[in-house]
Structure 1
Amino acid sequence: MRDLPDYSLGEWARAAPLAHGVRRLRNVAVDAYYARRPAAGHAALARELAGLDGRFVAFTIAFNLPEAVALLSQGLARVHPGVPLVVCDNSDDPAARARIAALCAARGHVYCALPRPPAIGSRGNASRSHAVALNWVWRNLIRPSRPSGFALLDHDLVPLVPDDLAARVAHHPIHGMVRRGPRGAWYLWPGFSLFDFSAVAGLKLDFGTDTPRGLDTGGQNWRVLYRRLAPSDIGRARTFQVLLEDPEVGAPEPFLLVDGFLHVGGAGHRGGGAAALARVRRAYEADPDGLFARLMAGAVPIAPTD
């Protein structure tokens, strides 16, 4: 919720601060309860993560699309071979979970089957479900494993060009795509955000939404972290709108490109989900080396929001 002085007299008359406060208390209680639930095979998972101590590690929240995880995995292996991937499975389709687990076993990724999401305040709300999952991962996987730094990546990102992700946070505590709400607060898009672990290890990070401030998943970190940072503390991702042509579609289709990662966007629902992902996969597999240059030829920079 917003700071109390930020509410207008009309909002006080409508008891908006009370409604926002009650919802916030509910979300905090739900997250705390969920964070105490262990994942299946948690002890073995902890041992796997212990082997990554001190390394820069990527984490992704998977949801019902093994094909997306496969393409993310393929791209990381090609252009970021030194970055381990931890796949945290939030799928509600048992068949998808089985396929994602098998893919991770075959490709050497750490796999975590997240506990079933809480029924209150998350099921049916994609942003909230993503936030609950990220909070579980922060508390149960990232903090205990103590990587040198970590990336939070959407499962429908496709890495296209080599980069040193760890170097992105060597001189900044955070790096990513800034999204600003209507009241001046901002947050990093959790689909591509990088953190220096030492800068946030002692914080109670909260990837929840902050709807009263107009902030989506990750917005609660405005209160915990972002509002305390100077502009020089923030590494800004280079973001572009790019067009991908596909003969089967018949027209160029817009996508987001962030620091060399192509974002399919809403792969769980947009354009049939799997269909949109299949179009990207065809373009990627046809020319993985030349796709980035092709996209950048018609790229339009996305202006920063602050």
Structure 2
Amino acid sequence: MTETLDPRALRGAFGAFLTGVTVVTTTDAEGNPIGFTANSFTSVSLDPPLLLVCLAKRSYNYATVTGAGGFAINILAEDQEGVSNTFARPSDDRFAGIDWSASPNGAPIIRGAAAWFDCATHEIVEAGDHAVLIGRVRAFEDAGANGLGYARGAYVKPGTLGAAVAAAAEGAARVGAVVERDGAILLLGGEDGPLTLPEAPIETTNSPAALRAFLLARIGLPTHVGFVYSVYEDRARGWQHIVYRCDAGFGAPSEGRFVPLTEIPYDRIADGPTRDVVRRFAAESALGNFGVYFGNETRGRVHPLDGKA
């Protein structure tokens, strides 16, 4: 006997699970690009390199995708909500106005995606009113951006500036970064002068992509911009500070140096609020538990996060 469940309620319960947002792409028999938004995506295996996405059998694209022999997964970046909406809605040409190029194996890759995977179809598994499309990864690229999230019928942007700016007091805003690598953080400044974190006016760093570009130009290293770490008002200067956690790539920085967290010269850090940010980061790194600070330069609250994510 099959138990009867309310499909709408079940879908709502499934929606409690926070997922990423992807666009699955391939080409039809004539070489035309096709694509659709999907959040039923996950990695499967590293050896061999496998991933999967679920496709509804009633989908207009079902026959094309399952018969194509290959496809690409584009993990959308947090500023690509519009792209997600475009590929989720019926359209004669979803690629009109979309900047894309062909992957090494011909599937469309959307410019600005947080990451993409070019796959050969490995296996198709029948699963109720869907099919599980398992792909073997043949090529991929990671742009280092945060992915767009989705839960309870709404988008979630884990690293967006929007929530932080909404919490900011009126006045000038600056965006800074705790750039970490191998148990050390990047501090700018001369050998004997004051030290500080890299930061810039929000007008030039008003998105994770802009912050990455700023850091690349300033320190000469590629970085991954993670989550907001601290949002505080410096009342003495009339500034609102928004600080991100960032991971740096390999190589020597063109400006500043990486200082081990156990050797930070706190007496040389340029100002008290920055010193507090660095001190808290060093303490939280030692414990492996991080939080997000909201407040001003003297008083606020740390909202804890589980683990290092």
Structure number with the bigger relative contact order (C-alpha 8 A, sep ≥ 6) is 1
Q: Which one has a larger percent helix, Structure 1 or Structure 2?
A: 1
Q: Over alpha carbons, which structure has the higher Rg?
A: 2
More strand, by proportion: 2
**TM-score, scaled to structure 1:** 0.24
